[in-house]
Copies of this chain bind each other. A is one copy, B any other.
Amino acid sequence: MKDFTIEYFTMTEQDAVDYARTSIDFFQTDAELSCKEIGDGNLNYVFKVVDGKNNKSVIIKQAGPVARISDDFKLSTDRNRIESEILGVQNKLAPGFVPKVYHYDSIMNCCVMEDLSDHEIMRTALLKHKKFPLFADHITSFLVNTLLCTSDVVLEHKEKKALVKQFINPELCEITEDLVYTEPFYDCPRNEVFEGSKEFVKDHIWNDKKLVLESAKLKFEFMTNAQSLLHGDLHTGSIFIKKDSTKVIDPEFAFYGPAGYDIGNIMANLIFAYANGKFTIDDEKTRNDYLNYLVTTIRDVINLFTDKFNNAWDDKATERVASYEGFKEYYLEAILRDTAAVTGLELLRRIIGLAKVKDITSIQNPESRTRAEKICLTVGKELILNRESIKSGPDYINAIHGAERTSVKEA
């Protein structure tokens, strides 16, 4: 058995079994352990260690020495510390919405956490057109509790500054700065634009100077606005879900940024699911039924967030100036404006940039995919340019339906 206490190495499945047996106090002595590496992300190894005899299991997540997404991104393993620590913070603020962490190991850069194999990745489930009627309620509780309660509205300011310091996250933020805020807005060699969308992207994104200027403003917002402790990568691939439970995972991008960033990621990825459903479900009734579910969810995420945010503010704000007449409304408007902008940015970058979503790439018919992409690009652009006036659930629905009408006319 290798020694886990001296220096870092990337584990094999056998190492993970040994590690689980010796380094944590979780399995019984008679455990019959087996392990499978189940990682499908880009940055980490994920070992599922199962005790077949007593029906217990854990996940060991180890940061690889180099990010898997591409050799361009070399990432320090500090992200694993960040992930373990943020899971602790989130578990306190939003109990039940993140996996429990049993152990963090700063030598092996791994953390041992609750196995959520009875859940499935939300993106995968949505690709099967499954519905989760409790999702909007769950995710808005998570969002309000983690975003508002880590802000200066609620948190004592010296405590907040200590968290800002703890979660300075230069390397992971750089990925976002490049992939979300920079590369999609010019003809960057690393972009991967689908053939059918090339002209549209060139004419309506890269050549739109007003849009490109807005992307620069938003990039600086992202880099400087230390408002809330974000998850930082809250797409539907970072959510484990089943009918009655929603668990937010993979928070290694966590840092203090604009609260709207997390909400906008949720919104955009629901819109991708909508685009997928629209072009891949043949049966009209099934399709309408599914799209209605998504429209309701898209609307509810904004509306429930707004309601819960207002209530939580009234209950939990500790900052004196938070009670000044008009300040809550001003503050919430800024979050909703940022949410609209980030929804737009995420919609654009997943179509134009390096990191794709399966919701779109799995649309087999090239014409359908092109139409789906143009709808996402049109909504994205609209949300960025008109972010000041996108404030409610229905505003998003209108943007989506407007883009659908344009796409029908063009087709």
Contact = CB atoms under 8 A, between A and B. Distances in A.
Interface stretch (A50-58, A82-90, A94-102, A162-170): A162-170
Contacts of A325: 209, 213
A22 interface: no
Among all A-B residue pairs, the 7 with the closest Cβ atoms: A216-B321, A158-B170, A161-B170, A165-B168, A216-B327, A216-B324, A213-B326
**How many copies make up the complex?**
2
A331 interface: yes
Interface in A220-241: 220, 223-227
Interface string A323-348: 01111001100000000000000000
A217 interface: yes
Query: Interface of chain A, helix or strand or loop or mixed?
Result: helix
A174 B225 CA distance: 18
A75 to B, nearest CB: 11
A217 B330 contact: yes
B157 A170 contact: yes
B224 A321 contact: no
Contacts of A171: 158
Interface in A302-340: 320-322, 324-327, 330-331
Contacts of A324: 209, 212-213, 215-216
Contact of A224 (B185, B212, B227): B227
The interface centre, meaning the residue of A160, A165, A216 with most chain B CB atoms within 10 A of its CB, is A216
Given A182-B321, A223-B152, A177 B157 contact: yes
A339 to B, nearest CB: 17
A158 B174 contact: yes
Interface in A160-197: 160-162, 164-165, 168-171, 173-174, 177, 181-182, 185
A182 B224 contact: no
Contacts of A131: none
A138 interface: no
A321 B215 contact: yes
B152 A327 contact: no
13 contacts: A157-B170, A157-B173, A158-B171, A158-B174, A161-B173, A165-B168, A182-B321, A209-B324, A209-B325, A216-B330, A219-B321, A220-B331, A224-B227
Interface in A38-88: none
A158 to B, nearest CB: 4
Contact of A152 (B215, B220, B331): B220
Nearest to A165: B168
Nearest to A181: B321
A327 B213 contact: yes
A329 to B, nearest CB: 10
A157 B171 CA distance: 9
A174 B326 CA distance: 24
Nearest to A328: B216
A228 to B, nearest CB: 9
A3 B386 CA distance: 66
A170 B162 contact: yes
A41 to B, nearest CB: 22
A206 to B, nearest CB: 12
Contacts of A330: 213, 216-217
Given A164-B164, A213-B325, 18 more contacts: A157-B177, A158-B171, A161-B169, A161-B170, A161-B173, A162-B170, A165-B165, A181-B321, A209-B324, A209-B326, A213-B327, A216-B330, A217-B327, A219-B321, A220-B331, A224-B226, A225-B225, A226-B226
